[in-house]
Copies of this chain bind each other. A is one copy, B any other.
Amino acid sequence: MTIRTRRERERAEREQLIVTAARKLAESEGWSAVTTRRLASEVEYSQPVLYSHFKGRDAIMAAVAVEGCGELATALRAARTAAKDERGALAALSRAYTDFARERPALYDAMFTHAVDLPFATPEAPAALHEAFDELRLAVEPMAVDGDDPVLLTETYWASLHGLATLTRSDRLPPEAHDRRLALLIGHFASTH
């Protein structure tokens, strides 16, 4: 029994090793550099070992994405709770969100750009994902007026942040005006505050 648990623990550790290596490699050289061969050599195992942990390359990306959601949630919470009023909280959270996307592009892509078969807008979605969305909701909710559905409003605001983050990072929007676009967005969503 103890042997079984030890082996299971070692297996879990190796799985974490793989996810960490994949993430590190993606962050430093982009997802195109994360090949199964390269990743296998990085963790000092052979290729097929990866497939005993994950269904395929995409499943590894999904695991990295879930990790990223947890960190995004943490970053958003820190920004939100440090602000002194509701509008300040929304501004700080928005800044934290787009900073996260800019500074960890590979992680962000795995989470929100790359096609990945994670359940999202359902209860079965990973807890970390719900946490990140809840942080958004806590900052956006206070801006709701009269009949606004808070969840729908949060989804809409999230989409705006996501659009700004992705279009700016791919140079489809000039980066130097990012702050002013963010201010415009906040201005329109928090006009009554």
Q: Which residues of A contact B (CB under 8 A)?
A: 112-113, 115, 120-121, 148-149, 152-153, 155-156, 158-164, 166-168, 170-174, 177, 180-181, 184-185, 188-189, 191
Contact = CB atoms under 8 A, between A and B. Distances in A.
Contacts of A168: 159
Given A155-B167, A166-B166, 11 more contacts: A113-B166, A120-B171, A121-B173, A149-B180, A155-B173, A155-B177, A156-B184, A158-B167, A159-B168, A163-B166, A188-B188
Count identical subunits in the complex: 2
Which secondary structure dominates where chain A touches chain B?
Answer: helix
Contacts of A172: 112, 120-121
Given A113-B113, A191-B191, A159 B184 contact: no
B164 A159 contact: yes
Nearest to A169: B115
Nearest to A190: B188
